[in-house]
Each structure stands twice: as structure tokens, then as C-alpha cells.
Structure 1
Amino acid sequence: MNAPAPHSPRETFALHGHDAAMAAFQDSRRSGRLHHAWLLHGPMGIGKATLAFHFARILLNGVDPQSPAGRRITAGTHADLMVIGRGMDERKGRLRSEIVADEVRPIQSFLRRTAAEGGWRVVIIDGAEFMNRHAANALLKLLEEPPPQAALFLVSAAPGALLPTLRSRCRALTCLPLSNDDMRQVLHEQGYATQDVDRLIEAAHGSPGRAAFLGHDRDGRVAGIVGKWLDGGASGASPGDAESIVRQDEGFALLCDLLGDGLSQRARRLAETNSLADAARVAAAHGALAALRRETERFNLDKGQAVLQAATIVSDL
């Protein structure tokens, strides 16, 4: 299976799920007392940033993607929309670990100026939990005295990491994982073949973003290896298995993700049956696997050896 390239939130016009969050926003807008700051929170990859862009399109008269405002939002050239997120570390080839104060401070001048198109000014902070303390404090000062006709949307998969004072100044909207019906529609719209959709829905837990990540697993090859390992076959892992995993796009990350998900589910089942010692042992293996993934990716260690080490962690259960 060749995974289709997913659209970015800026380029996604169809909205699936999140009906309650949309209704709350629309009710607030129609009341004429739209809150100035919103916290959109929920699991990763379920469409929170897409929802934030949809709100921005409503406020900036760009719901129609072919309208002048709609085209500017899609192109990233709308003068009344500012989007902030973690930048790319070109040297390491991955997203930076933080959003820093220098990236947040320009919001102040952006919000204080007159709207270029005579309406709202909108700011989206995607991954708000990655703001460091200086960035969060800079944003907090803006929220204490918000200008009129300005709306900020903070998107976060870990709202507990935000400053409590920051959370208290936002209206929270809980975003839930998508239903299977919504997931099926999203995946078909993104171009996934029918034979792949059911497998991805089962493993994605209501997250189109996770489904897109799992879509890198050609024909479910890594998932098959993970299933065999979790059924007691990890001790037979071979260098050939490791090579076949590492050769795939995102192969090592896929292995760790699927193994971690399987271990998490097993630990929950054991805890539910009061097998607490066994649940703790599986939870410890889950932690060891997560640490192996972090260290391998952080220090660019040999992924083939890391795959075999992951097998050892599982085989000890």
C-alpha cells in the first residue's frame, strides 16, 4: 500500500466530527460575544488544527475555498491570519522541541494593528503545549488585555502542560476521536483503497493523523511482525526482520508505535482482571520501549539494532 499524502489542516475543507465544538463556537459567534481565546484540546491527529482553520475561515469569510479570502487562507497569504507552530530544525531534519518567545511576541503587533480586510484578526498556535515558559508568559500578557475583534485558537494534545493561568483565560473546547463512520469517510476522501480502510480504522483509534502515519506500513507488514511478537514470537526475531522493518518509510517508528499500543492494551486488560503484578511488568516494558525509541531517534543510533532490542524487551514478558 502506498499511503496517500494527507492534506495539511490549511488545505482541508471538509470537516468530519467535532459537531459539539462547532456548535459551541457558532453559538458564541451568533451571540455577538465571541470569546477572544479558545483552547482546542484532544488526542493527537484527530483534526484539532483543521477545526481551528475552519473557525478562522468562518471569521475571515473564507469558508468557500474558491473565494478570494479562502484562496489566501489556503496559500498562507491572508493578512489577517497568523499561524504559529514548531519550526523545522534544518540541521536535525525534524521539528524543533519548543515554541520560543521570539515566535510569540509578533502576535502583539499583529493584533494591535487594524485588520487589513476590515474584520477579524485570527491567530492559530498549533501545538501550544510546546511553548516554553517565556513564550507562554508573552502570550499571557496579550490575553490579559485582548483587543476587539481578535480571536486566538490554541491547539493542544496536552493541555495540562500549559500554564494554569493561560488555560483559565481560554474557553476550552474538547475534541473527541472520530467515529468509525467519520473515519471511513475521511480515509476515502484522502484516497485510501477500500481494502486498507478497515485495517487502519481498527488501529487508528479515531485519529486520521494516526491513520496517515500507519498508512506507511505497506500491506501491514510491520503490523504482522508486531502481532507475531506480541503472541510470543519476539524471541525468534532475526536480523532479516530488523532489515525489513528499517527499509520501510518510518519503519522503526511504526514498530515502536504499534508495539507500544499493543503493550498498553495488554496492561489495561491485565489491570481490569486484577492481575496487577503482570500489568506493572507490561507497563514497565512499555516504558522501556518508549525510552529506546527516544534515545534511538535523539542520538541517531542504529535502528536495526534498536529493532532487535525492542524484540528483547517484548520477549522478556
Structure 2
Amino acid sequence: MDTARQASLHVVGHDAEFATFRRAAASGRLHHAWLLTGPEGIGKAPLAFRMGRSLLNGEDPAAPATRQITAGSHPDLLAIGRTFDEKRQKFRSEIVADEIRPINAFMHRTAAEGGWRVVIIDTAEAMNRNAANALLKILEEPPPRAILLLTCATPGMLLPTIRSRVRTLPVSPLSPADIHTVLARVAPETPPEELARVTPLAQGSPGRALSLLADTGGAISAVAHEAVRGMTMSRILDVADAIGRSEAGFGLLFTLLGSALAQASRQAAEPGLARSVKLADAWERVMLIRRQTEQFNLDKQEAIIEALSAAGSAHI
């Protein structure tokens, strides 16, 4: 989450969402838990850190609290997310109960600066059942001047009892101009033609835009759209062999394959509902294959073969 900490000093867009939070804080009736929802990669975590900064006097670049938050050393801010597995060299798929339980003690202790205690849980949908139940107990009896800020791309994966105890703040995708601004800042060496290619395809998500930049020239994107139209088994095996060995290529293919299926489903909704439903079913199957492969460290080439076949099945 170090990137989100840094980006929270210069959040691009989301002014309306931040203003909603500031008004609630100014009213003196700030809800104890907020759920920031929206598609992956649109900047929910930087916005959550910006909200936390506003409560901890950490918005002025010259302030000590600002530097502490950026460095991850502020005593009144606890940030939790998927941890990095050094052995496998990738982020773990779940947030477990042992990572959630310390929140209770943190929120009940006296704030070091005499103000708020802020907890940020990024990618809250990654909590497993035990972690979610541990969080639910904390939400049931929140202490004063303590706040939970959760980010979540798929709120339907959270327990209904958690959703009922938080205030939901929908976070909108960024405009193409804002996407261009973010890319110019974080990837300044990107050729103008690549910026022009990925900006309209990013769907308001800087994270998606950066993934698209990794697909130089759109080669993997072309493979994803080809899969939706239907591939021969020989072609599927060739693609799986070429991409399956790469951690980055695996994730990018699944991201773009999901987008291609979603786009095809929207386009098919007008001429025929049946095909749209088949494409939506294929999207769910592809997303499940990815989650299970990453969670259980399954064979990536086999997963790609299964996903490409599932994508093409809607074409039949």
C-alpha cells in the first residue's frame, strides 16, 4: 500500500466523494465505518488514505503527521491489506483473521495525538470468513473517535451483516483527462501514441491503464478478443504455452479477457438476451478460474486453457 500512501498526497479526481466525507466530518456525526466501492484500479485506496489524512492533520506536505503517514509510521493509522508472499513472490489471495484482530486493541487505545484513530482495510473482499467475522465483532461495538475505511471492488462478496453496518461511498471511475494526468505522472516516459491507445480503453481506471501499457501494442488484448470469438484448441494451446510462464502475462490476460467478455455481453444485450447471458456466465467462470488458480497456486497454463475455452463457449 506504499503507492497508495504516496498517491494520497496528490489524488486525481474523486473530489465529490471526498467532499461528501468532509461534510460528514464537519457535521460532527461522522459514521464509524465507510465502505468505498467501485471497479478495481480507480484509486479507492489513495482516496481512503486522503480521508485518513484529513482526520489526522496530514494534508499539509510540511506537517510531521503528513510525513509519518507517507512513511507508514503514524501511530494513529493502521493500514491492512493483502500481504506479500516472499517465497512465491506475489501477494497472498486472502486477508486472515490474525491480521484483523489487532484492530480492536488499536481502536480502543488512546490516540497518540489526542485525536482520531484510523484503520484502512484495502481490498476488503479478500477477507476470508474468519477475518470477516472478526471484523464484524469490531463493527458491532465501535469506540468513539475511531473510524474504519474499507475499500472493495466487489461488495457482494462481503457479509451482509458487514454491509449493513457501514456507510457506502460509491467511487466513480476517472475521466479520460484524469487518466491521462495520472499516467503522465506515474509513467512519464510513455510514448504519446501508447497514452492515446490505453486512455479510452482504461474505463476510468488508472490501474487498468497501467496494465494495458504493459501490453505493448495491444497484443494480449487482441488475444482476449480473439478468444471471445472462439479459438481452435491448437491456438489455445499455443497461447497458453506463450503466456502461462509469465506471472505478469497471466494476470494481464485474465484482466483483458474479463473486459472483452464484459464488453461483448453489453453489445449482445440488444440483439439477443440469450447470448448476453452466455457471455456473462463465461465471465463468471473466467473470474472463478483466476481466483482459484491464484488462491491454490494451480497450474497457470492449465488455467489459461480452461479460461480461453470458457470464453469461446459463449460463441457456440
Q: Same fold (TM over 0.5)?
A: yes
Residue 59, structure 1, aligned to residue 55, structure 2: yes
- Name structure 2 gaps, 5 residues minimum: none
2:252 corresponding residue in structure 1: 254
Higher relative contact order (CA 8 A, sep 6+): 1
CA distance in 1, matches of 2:283, 2:136: 36
1:279 corresponding residue in structure 2: 276
For 2:111, which of 111, 115, 137 is the aligned residue? 115
Q: Alpha-carbon deviation of 1:233?
A: 7.1
CA distance in 2, matches of 1:62, 1:264: 40
Q: 1:93–1:271: structure 2 CA closer, same or farther, 3 Å change rule?
A: same
Q: How does 1:191-202 map to 2 (within 5 A)?
A: 191-192=187-188, 193=190, 194-202=192-200
Q: Which amino acid aligns with 2:253?
A: L
Q: Alpha-carbon deviation of 1:232?
A: 6.7
* Cα-Cα RMSD: 2.9
CA distance in 1, matches of 2:128, 2:247: 31
Q: TM-score, normalised by structure 1?
A: 0.84
Q: 1:160–1:284: structure 2 CA closer, same or farther, 3 Å change rule?
A: closer
Q: SS in structure 1 opposite 2:299?
A: coil
For 2:211, which of 210, 213, 219 is the aligned residue? 213
1:10 corresponding residue in structure 2: 5
Q: Which amino acid aligns with 1:17?
A: G
Q: 1:216–1:148: structure 2 CA closer, same or farther, 3 Å change rule?
A: same
Residue 175, structure 1, aligned to residue 171, structure 2: yes
CA distance in 1, matches of 2:74, 2:52: 11
The share of aligned pairs that are identical, in percent, is 49
Q: 1:240–1:72: structure 2 CA closer, same or farther, 3 Å change rule?
A: same
Q: SS in structure 1 opposite 2:214?
A: coil
Q: 1:289–1:140: structure 2 CA closer, same or farther, 3 Å change rule?
A: closer
Q: Alpha-carbon deviation of 1:99?
A: 2.0
Q: Alpha-carbon deviation of 1:207?
A: 0.8
- Name structure 1 gaps, 5 residues minimum: 1-5
Q: 1:114–1:270: structure 2 CA closer, same or farther, 3 Å change rule?
A: same
Q: Alpha-carbon deviation of 1:66?
A: 3.8
CA distance in 1, matches of 2:177, 2:200: 12
For 1:22, which of 18, 25, 29 is the aligned residue? 18
1:3 corresponding residue in structure 2: none
Q: SS in structure 1 opposite 2:210?
A: helix
Counterpart contact for 1:36–1:146, Cα < 8 Å: yes
Q: How does 1:30-179 map to 2 (within 5 A)?
A: 30-179=26-175
* CA offset digits 1:216-272 (Å, max 9, x no partner): 112322224445555677678387665654576622332232233222222222222
